[in-house]
């Protein structure tokens, strides 16, 4: 039985990408590799909807978040952080680990922050605002477009965790005034885990020049210096097969067209939620904050573990459970990246027979 990954990540990798990865190893200081790496960067700009550089690091999304913070700030800088779930809390924990002075906005899980709450808490002392776009643990989406419009022309860095949204939900980095935009390869970008992609504005690069937080491997300025070479490179040995695969996956997104990709995610998410409700199940997330890449479903009577195990054992479908205080109380099903209607129908059928 072929396993179907319907988790919020890692997600299914297209056969076309797997074949590309398996074609053989390249040396990373050759023109052949530089050509692929250059293509990847141009395709990343397309998906990030930016004219800025998008830096690539061998890392998970968490490493990308750490890189965003250590390159943007100096020890003791005051920042405002929004958390609506487990990954928002992680972003805050990283910031505190590096000695940043963090003012927190904590929103009840399942809901999104409001622009009014941001306006109420933001002061001239804040050097940056950090926020999760799509909170994977709760399937809720924050209004980053509105926040970006509010922050425009303010002397503050707008840093967004888009690990489980970019490539599945519309994010216009430049138009929305985002200074640092972080994602990873294994979610909506249809690639294996192991790469972090970070879009960086000119304002963010200026901050990187002043930052005094410790960094070596995750140094934005060094990564950009190598990226800007006539034959683009990485400062250190990159994850060559993953970069080859990611380039092919982004080529597939390019061929489908970004707007079509977003529409596919939206339509599949709407169908999935509606069919789940017809089963008599309830959704964990505030309807005003529904995600198009993941759905969180309330499960009572401790049945979450049984449903997860049954889907895997009898249907070959892998899903995720709750995190934090929701562990054992809900299941989370991803519908992002390389996903189609047949996969949604297969998952719905298995879920219906398991509840």
Contacts of 122 (CB under 8 A, 6+ apart): 80, 129, 156
Would 4-10+258-352 and 15-255 be classified into the same CATH topology?
Answer: no
Pick the CATH number of 15-255 from 3.10.20.30, 3.40.640.10, 1.10.12.10, 3.20.20.80: 3.40.640.10
DSSP string, 126-138: --EEEEESEETTT
What number does CATH give the domain 4-10+258-352? Answer: 3.90.1150.10
Per DSSP, the three-state class of 286 is coil
Cα torsion for 174, 179, 185, 189, to the nearest 10°? -20
Integer Cα distance of 258 and 251 in angstroms: 11
Q: What is the pLDDT of residue 302?
A: 82
Q: What is the pLDDT of residue 300?
A: 86
Q: What is the pLDDT of residue 201?
A: 98
Total-model pTM: 0.98
Average pLDDT over residues 142-170: 97
Measure CA of the first residue to CA of the last residue in the chain; give whole Å: 21
Q: Give me the residue spans of the domains in the chain.
A: 4-10+258-352, 15-255
Contacts of 49 (CB under 8 A, 6+ apart): 171, 172, 173, 174, 175, 258
pLDDT, one tens digit per residue, over 293-350 is 999 999 988 899 999 999 999 999 999 999 999 999 999 999 999 999 999 999 999 9
Hey, how many other C-beta atoms are within 10 angstroms of the C-beta on 60?
A: 18
Average pLDDT, the chain: 97
Average pLDDT over residues 77-87: 98
Average pLDDT over residues 167-180: 98
Annotated binding site for substrate: 332
Annotated binding site: 332
Strands (E), 107-256: 128-132, 134-135, 140-141, 157-161, 180-184, 195-200
Integer Cα distance of 241 and 311 in angstroms: 31
pLDDT at 1 over 90: no
Integer Cα distance of 265 and 8 in angstroms: 13
Residue 300 is encoded by which pair of tokens? 């009572």
Average pLDDT over residues 222-226: 98
Average pLDDT over residues 193-209: 98
Centroid of chain to Cα 212: 26
């Amino acid at each position: 039985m072929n396993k179907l990954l319907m988790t919020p990540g890692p997600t299914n990798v297209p056969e076309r990408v797997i074949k590309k990865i398996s074609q053989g190893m390249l040396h990373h200081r050759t023109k052949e590799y530089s050509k692929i790496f250059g293509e990847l960067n141009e395709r990343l700009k397309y998906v990030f909807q930016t004219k800025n550089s998008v830096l690539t690091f061998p890392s998970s999304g968490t490493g990308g978040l750490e890189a965003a913070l250590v390159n943007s700030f100096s020890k003791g800088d005051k920042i405002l952080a929004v958390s609506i779930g487990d990954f928002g809390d992680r972003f805050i924990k990283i910031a505190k680990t590096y000695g940043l002075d963090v003012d927190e906005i904590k929103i009840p899980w399942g809901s999104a922050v409001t622009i009014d709450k941001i306006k109420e808490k933001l002061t001239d002392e804040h050097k940056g605002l950090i926020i999760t776009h799509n909170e994977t643990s709760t399937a809720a989406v924050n209004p980053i477009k509105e926040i970006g419009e509010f922050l425009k022309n303010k002397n503050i860095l707008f840093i967004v965790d888009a690990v489980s949204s970019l490539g599945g939900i519309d994010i216009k980095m430049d138009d929305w005034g985002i200074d640092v935009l972080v994602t990873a390869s294994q979610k909506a970008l249809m690639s294996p885990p192991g790469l972090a992609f970070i879009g960086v504005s000119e304002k963010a690069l200026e901050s990187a020049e002043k930052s005094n937080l410790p960094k070596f491997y995750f140094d934005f300025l060094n990564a950009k210096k190598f990226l800007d070479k006539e034959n683009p490179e990485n400062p250190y040995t990159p994850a060559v097969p993953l970069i080859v695969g990611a380039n092919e996956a982004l080529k597939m997104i390019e061929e489908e067209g970004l707007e079509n990709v977003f529409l596919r995610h939206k339509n599949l998410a709407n169908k999935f939620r509606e069919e789940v409700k017809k089963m008599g199940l309830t959704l964990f997330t505030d309807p005003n904050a529904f995600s198009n890449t993941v759905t969180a479903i309330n499960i009572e009577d401790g049945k979450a573990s049984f449903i997860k195990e049954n889907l895997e054992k009898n249907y070959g479908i892998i899903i995720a459970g709750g995190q934090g205080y929701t562990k054992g109380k809900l299941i989370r099903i991803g519908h992002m990246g390389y996903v189609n209607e047949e996969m949604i129908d297969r998952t719905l059928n298995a879920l219906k027979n398991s509840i």
